[in-house]
Amino acid sequence: MGGSIGIDLGGTNIAVGLVSDACDIVSRKDVKTMAPRSARSITKTIVSLIRSLLNENKLTSKDLSSIGIGLPGIVDTKSGELLFATNLKLSHVNFPELFHEYFPNLNVYVGNDADCAVLGEYLAGEAKNYASALLLTLGTGVGGGLVVDGKIFRGGDGLGIEPGHIVVETDRAVKCACGQWSCLETYASIQGLIRLTEEVLASEGDSVFLQSPYPLNAIRIFEAVRAKDPIAEKIHARYIGYLAAGIKTLVALYRPHIILLGGGLSNASDLLIEPLEKAVRRDIFSGDILPVPSIRVASLRNDAGIIGAAKLYRESSL
C-alpha cells in the first residue's frame, strides 16, 4: 500500500500530505484556501492536490488505504457532516460524499482539526510515549483535543470538546465570539494577549517597548518580556495566570498524562513552559497526591494535523 492521504483544511491554508504507515509525511502540497467559497470548489482543489501527490510518487488511488480530512469546526464523525465552520463560512457539508465522487472506492474519514493535531502528536510527536494527551492550540483562538488510549475523546454526543470555551473569570468581563463571557479563548489567544496588554497599558502607564505608533502583536509583547520591561512582566504574569487557571480545570476534568501547547503563541516556549508548570503545580486539585501532567510544546507543528487526519481510519478498528 502507498499509505494514506491526510488533509488539514484551514481557513487560510490547505495542506495535503501522503503519509506512510509509519506516520511519516512522504510528500505534501500546500495552497491558500481562498475562503469563502463553496465546498465543491474546495473539494476540487484538494482532489487536484491529491492527484498531483499520487503522480509524483507513481501511485494510484488503489494504492491508498484511506483519505482523512481535518476540518476547522464542529464535525459529526458518525454522519461525516461538517455542521459549522466559521472561518470557512460553511455549514452542513458532507465532505466524504463529495470526495466519493472522485474516489468512489476509498473510505473517507473526517474529524475536527484540533482532534487530528493531537492524534498526530500522540502517534508520532511529543506525546507518542504517553497513554493520553491533551493539546491546546494558542493562536487566533484557543482550540484543543484529547486522546485517550489511542482514541480521540469526543464526549457523550460525539462532537468533541472545546477547551478554549471553559470559563476562567466569574464576571461578564469579556464577550467571546462563541456567545459566552470570559472564556479561556478571550484571555489565552493572540487577541486575548493583545487585549490584556491594552488593559495594563491603560492602567499602568506607557512602556518604552510597547509604545505607539507600532502596532501591538505577540512578538513585540514577548520581546518586551524578555527585555524585563516592568509593564510587560505584569502583562505576562496575568496571561500565565489565566492560562494556568484553564489548564488546572482541564486537568481536574480529564487527568491527561501530558499537556501540549501548539499554535503561534507556543513559539515563545521559553516564556510559557516553566512559569506555567510552576503556576499549575502551586495549587492544583490534589497536586500533593495525584501526579501533575508535564507541559510541553507540540513538536510536529504544521505536520500534526496532516498525520492525524491520515490516521483517522485507525479509530474504526479500535
pLDDT of residue 100 exceeding 90 = yes
- CATH label of the domain that carries residue 33: 3.30.420.40
Residues 110 and 135 in one domain: no
The pairing of beta strand 4-9 with beta strand 74-76: unpaired
CA of residue 267 relative to chain centroid, distance: 14
C-alpha cell at 2: 502507498
CA distance 80 to 275: 40
Residues 155 and 270 in one domain: yes
SS3 letters across the chain: CCCEEEEEECCCEEEEEEECCCCCEEEEEEEECCCCCCHHHHHHHHHHHHHHHHHHCCCCHHHCCCEEEEECCEEECCCCEEEEECCCCEEEEEHHHHHHCCCCCCCEEEEEHHHHHHHHHHHHCCCCCCCEEEEEEECCCEEEEEEECCEECCCCCCCCCCHHHCECCCCCCCECCCCCECECHHHHCHHHHHHHHHHHHHHHCCCCCCCCCCCCCHHHHHHHHHCCCHHHHHHHHHHHHHHHHHHHHHHHHHCCCEEEEECHHHHHHHHCHHHHHHHHHHHCCCCCCCCCCEEEECCCCCHHHHHHHHCHHHHHHC
Residues 135 and 256 in one domain: yes
* Digit-coded pLDDT (tens) for 173-194: 899 888 899 999 999 999 999 9
pLDDT of residue 287 exceeding 70 = no
pLDDT of residue 289 exceeding 80 = no
In the chain, % of residues over pLDDT 70: 97
Residues 78 and 112 in one domain: yes
* More confident site: 66 or 202: 66
pLDDT of residue 146 exceeding 70 = yes
pLDDT score recorded for residue 288: 67
User: 307 is in which domain, residue-wise?
Assistant: 4-120+303-317
* Digit-coded pLDDT (tens) for 110-119: 999 999 999 9
For residue 286, the number of C-alpha atoms closer than 13 Å in the C-beta half-sphere is: 9
pLDDT score recorded for residue 317: 64
Give the pTM. 0.90
pLDDT of residue 172 exceeding 80 = no
Burial of 58 (0-12, 13-18, 19+ CB in 10 A): exposed
**Window from 55-64, 132-141, 157-166, 285-294 with minimum mean pLDDT:** 285-294
CA of residue 181 relative to chain centroid, distance: 21
Residues 137 and 267 in one domain: yes
Residues 209 and 71 in one domain: no
pLDDT of residue 41 exceeding 90 = yes
**Window from 53-57, 252-256, 269-273, 279-283 with minimum mean pLDDT:** 279-283
Question: Mean pLDDT score of the chain, rounded to an integer?
Answer: 92
Residues 191 and 99 in one domain: no
pLDDT score recorded for residue 211: 75
pLDDT score recorded for residue 13: 92
The domain total for the chain is 2
Residues 34 and 139 in one domain: no
Residues 140 and 26 in one domain: no
pLDDT of residue 23 exceeding 90 = yes
Residues 54 and 198 in one domain: no
Residue 180: what residue type?
A: Q
Confidence at 290, pLDDT banded by 50, 70, 90: confident
pLDDT score recorded for residue 204: 80
What mean pLDDT do residues 284-313 have?
89
Confidence at 9, pLDDT banded by 50, 70, 90: very high
pLDDT of residue 86 exceeding 90 = no
Residues 248 and 313 in one domain: no
pLDDT score recorded for residue 1: 56
Residues 97 and 156 in one domain: no
Confidence at 273, pLDDT banded by 50, 70, 90: very high
Residue 68: what residue type?
A: G
